[in-house]
Amino acid sequence: MKEGKREIETNALSQCIQNRLGSSGIFFFSLGLHGFLILIATGITLFLVEKEKDITLTFKREAREEQYDPEIARWIFKTPRILANRIIEKPILIFEEEVEISRDITRGTSFDSLANKNINARSIIDAYGMGGKAAGVYGQRWGKGGVILCEGGSPGSCACCIGGCTGSLAHPEDEGRSAIFFLDSGENPFIDTSWDHLSTFAIDVDTASYTMARSYIEKGELPPKKSIRIEEFINYMNYEYTSPWSDVIAIHLEAAPSKFGREDAHKLMRVAVKGLEANMADRRNAVLTYVIDISGSMSSANRLPLVKKSLKLLLEQLTDGDKVGIIVYSDDAKVVTEPLPIAEREKLIKTIDSLETEGSTNVEAGLMLGYEMADRHFRKHAINRIILCSDGIANTGETSAEKILQKVKTYKEKGIYISTIGFGIDHNDDLMEKLADKADGVYAYIDTPDEATRLFVNNTMGIMGVLAKDMKVQVDFNPDVVDSYRLLGYENRKIADKDFRNDKVDAGEIGPGHSVTALYELKLHDDVAEGIVATVFVRYKDPEYQDEVKEIKQSFPLASIRETFEDASADFRLAAATAELAEVLKDSFFARESDLEPVVELTEYLAHEMYDREEVKELAGLVKKARNIRQKTMQKRVALERSEDNVSRIPRDKSAVIVGLPR
């Protein structure tokens, strides 16, 4: 009886187990099938999305001059690397072992997947390169997973392109409010002429970076490193270049040993362009549209009150035949007055004085209404220009410069120019600069009434008129004479070499009497005694002749290089000093061992030599202040480091005593 019952129970249990196994099998089979289908769908999607976004890199082993720490989330693309005794920007991966391979890598590919090519991901020390649409490709060490390639404007975009990247990849210097408003464009490396003997860029007459830095230094602070644009420091200064004789543009070249580079090995070459001078009496009539930010963030004394003073100064420079209209914006935009003739100057002044701050900042609405007004009152053969005055802190409506620029493209093509004038120490520099650079404009920053006078009284023609459009510079270095070169600044003004004579590519504008200066640091071949160092080409459109395209050139022979830096012109030495100040403030890789003491000495000498130049005297004082601030900052840093090193040796009852600090 018991045996029969046990047999029945055993059979029942067996049947139950079989049923459960059958159910589980079906379940797991179903789960596996669904997973397989999802993988196929994901693969197809990724294939379609990524197929056209392959990144081509050249992997190559190079000897390293010095060791550096491959920390997590390093800004690979924006930090130059020393390889084979020169700085390069070719796409390079550095390996611990000898490896050479070239292939296409899809965005988001981990280097672990390249093991079948005998590449050990753990052996990769560093990586960087260029992706499509000028986006950076960052090689990053990520925990134990080796290095991952990501495409985008910043290392933080890595989290968007591969599932393995999570968390914040913010750069340490991105802390604070300035991280929102300044865009770091990196710095140009030395380029070997055997790789690329052409250097091409759009001219830039902006000066905002210098005046912003001055504001910080006057307050006793060093400016944010990201705010430093070397070319804007250089071009803030007035240089006494000779005006052209037979054309609207003249080229001025000069070279000498580099005082702040390796003087025994490096030369400094100046490439300058000077525009034809013009008198106010000879200029065209102007139709100006003031677009004024009256949002709540403009309430401080150095914002809307300074805007009012500045624009009234500009009104005083206008003459019969000119007109001025006024748009204001906060939450939205509104027309205050349609363009009035300058004969009604008093009415315009009263209107400006009556403005008060309110609401948020809708830059898009203000600009669009301003362009619509400028379009309605557009006058052929006149100066049609928008004067945008703002802190640029857009927080309502469209806030992306790129999307705003798409909307104003037709107005730009019609011939409506823009001047973006920044106010306030923490204004949105990135937005204001992009609007000016891409919309045929000029970008300046006003921090004091004196700067307003310099811009709107002393430089009225330069800020209003356009002498040449879409101006590009191409320097063709002779590989037989020049080993390598480095352009100081203009990182965000680069143009592809092949596009120099593509007249559809947007470039920069220059006003009457304006000059543009660029500096190159050169390393020459040791065994060359004669020859052409470089030939400079300048190409532009002449608005006086229906945008007729013109091109001029000038060569610079080796024999014309000065024997010593001191033999160079005062303007040359002034440009060199200003550039070195910018490089030190930027904490440039190329100024990593520099301090400002030599710049102090040089600018003091130049202030005496160029005694009638107020901006040179100001520069000398500014460099001194920057040196003092920098020294105090470095002393504090050293004190902190020493206190951390010695904290374990400080007796418990004397923990307030800091050991080994400088007096």
Model-wide pTM > 0.75: no
- Mean pLDDT confidence for 95-114: 38
What is the average pLDDT across 196-209? 92
pLDDT of 1 strictly over 80? no
pLDDT by residue (tens digit) across 494-514? 999 999 999 999 898 998 889
Is the confidence at residue 391, as pLDDT, over 80? Answer: yes
Mean of pLDDT values over 246-271: 89
Task: Please indicate whether residue 573 or residue 280 has the higher confidence score (pLDDT).
Answer: 573
Confidence check: pLDDT of 222 > 90: yes
Q: What is the pLDDT of residue 464?
A: 81
Exposure of 518 by Cβ count < 10 A (0-12 exposed, 13-18 middle, 19+ buried)?
Answer: buried
Q: Are 121 and 114 in contact (CB under 8 A)?
A: yes
Query: What are the pLDDT digits (tens) for 395-427?
Result: 787 778 788 888 888 898 888 999 999 998 777
**pLDDT tens digit string along 152-177?**
333 333 322 222 332 222 332 333 33
Contact in structure between 320 and 284 (CB atoms under 8 Å): no
Mean pLDDT, residues 631-638 taken together:
74
User: What is the average pLDDT score of the chain?
Assistant: 74
The helix/strand/coil state of 445 is strand
- pLDDT bin (cut points 50, 70, 90) of residue 142 is very low
123-127, 264-268, 466-470: the lowest-pLDDT one: 123-127
Distance, in Å, from the CA atom of 28 to the CA atom of 276, rounded to the nearest integer, reads 81
3-class DSSP string for 315-371: HHHCCCCCEEEEEEECCCEEEEEEEEEHHHHHHHHHHHHCCCCCCCCCHHHHHHHHH
Taking the CB of residue 563, how many other CB atoms lie within 10 A of it? 9
Confidence at residue 321, expressed as pLDDT on a 0 to 100 scale: 92
Q: Interior CA angle at 518 toward 513 and 524, to 5°? A: 145
Rg (CA), the chain: 30
**Cβ density class 72-85: b for 16+ within 10 Å, e for less:** ebbbbbbebbbbee
- CA distance linking residue 338 with residue 615, whole number of Å: 38
CA 548/CA 590 separation, integer angstroms: 40
Question: Could you tell me which residues are beta bridge partners of residue 122?
Answer: none
**Would you put residue 440 in left (φ > 0), alpha (ψ -120 to 50) or beta?**
left
Whether 429 has a pLDDT exceeding 70, the answer reads yes
- DSSP assignments along 596-607, one per residue: SHHHHHHHHHHH
**How many Cα atoms are found within 13 Å in the side-chain-facing hemisphere of 229?**
27
Residue 551 has pLDDT above 70, yes or no: yes
Query: Residue 462: its pLDDT value, please?
Result: 76
Buried/exposed code over 131-148 (b: 16+ C-beta within 10 A; e: otherwise): beeebbbbbbbbeebbbb
pLDDT of residue 178: 35
Confidence of residue 75 (pLDDT cuts 50, 70, 90): very low
Beta bridge partner(s), residue 150: 138
Whether residue 530 is predicted with pLDDT greater than 80 in this model: the reply is yes
Res 410: pLDDT? 87
Residues paired with residue 536 on neighbouring β-strands, in sequence order: 475, 554
How much is the average pLDDT of 1-12? 47
Nearest CA-CA partner of 391 in 370, 352, 422, 434: 422
